[in-house]
Structure 1
């Protein structure tokens, strides 16, 4: 087998192990030497997690090329691991671009170096009798329908901070798509006075806390985090265009996306990884990414786990089809 990119990707879990190797060189105190392997969506090194992936998402990881800030995000696109930095400290690229930053090599020299340091043995004879290399074909994994996230649902008004029940993402999708909130949404959008509109919304819309289930709507009373993060965009004129861009985002998988009650904003619900990163830190990293990628400001209230999100009527609400 020739030493080429395809062969290397096939032996390094799409290149994820290459990222792990490079990061290990900078953070040896956090990631001990040893062969990397994948387990339940994590890239581990001697039992310690180096990278953690959930679906198409990843948690921000320290970037040695950005003063060790947790701004590096890695994911797999078309069977190749790629990266971006929330602060654009390095250019977006794939695993070979990242490896080139460390090894300061390119082309065939870089590929040969990766083959050597990762002990991939591509192009070498294997086994006691030096038989030809055998290529194994992996079986297609069984597709398991994921369980929809669960969080708290509250009846109006917003001053009611005790949840009525716990609800799933699919149930919220059905509520928003249905007609239950059509009348209140239409009335709100007809109110011209901004102060009156805020008052009407506060007293006439049910709401949820997408990020978790609570005994009372307060960060201190969190029962369980849902693994969801709400990104709130206010006062945007090109809603349809932004919506399409978010749905095609390369690094964050959309769980739910709908137009805000006011009609001039979007609510983008994405999944998040909380293994080693706090909710607030993850929010900050995502907000930085959005600012650099889309030149959009994010409502800072999303950093609060108990952030209330009013439920409007939106017949075009999007839900990730994996739940359907």
Structure 2
């Protein structure tokens, strides 16, 4: 097995504004694993509020390259045990885990849906993100869009804006990216109409969730508070829903375990993404049949997508009929 990797620049179609900052581009690390003429692909991206430095990942890959390439082709779940022993950052581990699933599926001539016996008849429709802007601008984007589900970014609480969004009577979620105060959360979770939002994502900074009430009107959803399977039991009294992202939890293999555990504990599940190309989105798409919600518009936000595979068309998830994760580099 051969390991290759390269850095890519993802240019956004327009400035993406969230409570953490404004972004015109993202840097991505593409990894490729090849064997017997087949290539599998995985990806991770540099996210500043996660303190990701892709140059560090490149240095790590150079160090482990020979060890990695000496591994035999085995089942991906066995391969993940090898990966776990390398103690990699979850973002980098995710890229390698997804690339191996893609390669293994291509070698077996089976899709990763088949390999994991995943449901695919009813895939949770994806939202499209509406970045921070004036409320009138946000409403114009929603009304012009051909998508049906929307995730609206906000920076702090403005009840007038909340009421205007609710008056649209559309499928809208609210994502504050940790910008709400304790008082904001107390107001929202006692506001009866807030249950018209499909969910309210990551209201406050990591670890500041004790004020939240799972049994309130708000469907609080944990994002940064929910990094991996170890987070789940502690969050039960506070969050109804969790956002599972492959890069956060370390790949497809741990994401599948996390979904099963989340279901056992009574959570609603969202499959989410970062701003990433079709390489990353293709891996997440195969989990949409296990989810209540999906937010897989990452590739839709970039202007120079460099791959083909599973994709999202106006919210509808379209699965490739090709083996593995169906990923091809343009």
Does the pair score TM above 0.5? no
TM-score, normalised via structure 1 length? 0.27
TM-score, normalised via structure 2 length? 0.27
Structure with greater contact order relative to length (CA < 8 Å, sep ≥ 6): 2
